[in-house]
Amino acid sequence: MKQIAVLGAGTMGIGIVRLFAEHGYEVCLYEPHMARTVLDEKLRSFEDNRMNDSGRPDDSRFSVRIYEDISKAIANADLIVEAVPEQLEIKREVYRQLAQNIRDNAIVASNTSTFALETLAENQPFSDRMIIMHFFNPAHLIPLVEIVGLPDTPSAIIDETVNLMRSCGKTPVVLKRDIPGFIANRLQAALLREAFYLLENGIADAEQIDTVVKEALGLRYAFKGPFEIADLGGLDIWSKVTGHLFPELGVSRSAPESLLAKAAEGQLGAKSGAGFYRYDDADEVKDNFEQQLQDLVRLKRESSPL
């Protein structure tokens, strides 16, 4: 795998470009709606702030070319990563353009958050070479990448993708079967459903719920997953806990009212200056969070695996 095309330079696309460029791959970026000067500036700032794995400055340069013509961006790509908005019609239009120009053996990966691969691959001429490659924001920092294929996806494609991810320092998890939302977003959605249930029923406010996650659950989850935590707590206890609590949990099957109301009022979170909290300088909050994540990932790498 040598050349990688990334489609879309939004929150995720630009992080994916950064990841591959930092690991020495040739990257071709296609972004039809963003000014060239803005993209150049972002890439330059990534290069200027580049660190190696041990946290020291790295002054080597990126190999990234920016295109406004999709056919040129994908012409020689071994892998195409689609990171366009989470709307089926936009993704399908991009796939239609790919179908006309793609190389015979190029792999097409979608970074979708929610769509099953079966839905995205339906009627695509390259469906046998399509996979899900689900990164996490910020894509250059969070180690996990979820990979999903279809039952007849050649194992060589999955293996090649896993090797690529490992070469970029990632931790790939290949799902046994295609399902909307994969593993992580289903778990995140389950937690959010209960968080909104507690909020909307007046049990706690957003700050209290965030404190509970940050000061207990999140700390443990950085080192142990839910099954490991159940083992450590005792499966007899967890049998009682799940038996007592599952019937008490929220079971809503639609987006939370309080979330819909905020979005309708234009309170979109950090990017609009307000959401559940106020943001005077969203860039500062984002930069600080990235630094914290980088420090935590390094700490995890250096700590004992047991």
Interface residues with ligand 2UF (CB under 6 A)?
Answer: 113, 136-137, 184-185, 188
CB of 162 to ligand NAD, least distance (A): 19
Catalytic residue among 22, 31, 82, 146: 146
273-to-52, 137, 257 alpha-carbon distances in Å: 33, 19, 21
Q: What angle do CA 276, 285, 38 make, to 5 degrees?
A: 110
Our CB check for ligand NAD shows the closer of 139 and 164 to be 139
Q: Tokens 């994908």 label which residue?
A: 74
**146 a catalytic residue:** yes
Report yes or no: 145 and 134 within 8 Å, Cβ to Cβ: yes
Q: Which is nearer to ligand NAD, 14 or 209 (CB)?
A: 14
Pick the closer one to ligand 2UF by CB: 62 or 136.
136
List of residues 6+ apart from 250 with CB closer than 8 A: 193, 194, 196, 197, 198
**Residue 85 contact, options ligand 2UF, ligand NAD, none, Cβ 5-8 Å cut-off depending on partner type:** ligand NAD
Min CB(222)–ligand NAD separation in Å: 19
Distance in angstroms (rounded) separating the CA atoms of residues 108 and 173: 18
Cis, peptide link before residue 180, omega less than 30° from 0: no
185 binds, among ligand NAD, ligand 2UF, none (CB under 5 to 8 A by kind): ligand 2UF
State the minimum distance, in angstroms, from the CB of residue 8 to ligand NAD.
3
Counting Cβ atoms within 10 Å, is residue 162 exposed (0-12), middle (13-18) or buried (19+)?
Answer: middle
Residues of this chain that interact with ligand NAD (CB under 6 A) are 7-13, 30-34, 83-86, 90, 94, 111-113, 135, 137
For ligand NAD, the nearest residue by Cβ is: 10
Which sequence positions are flagged as catalytic?
146
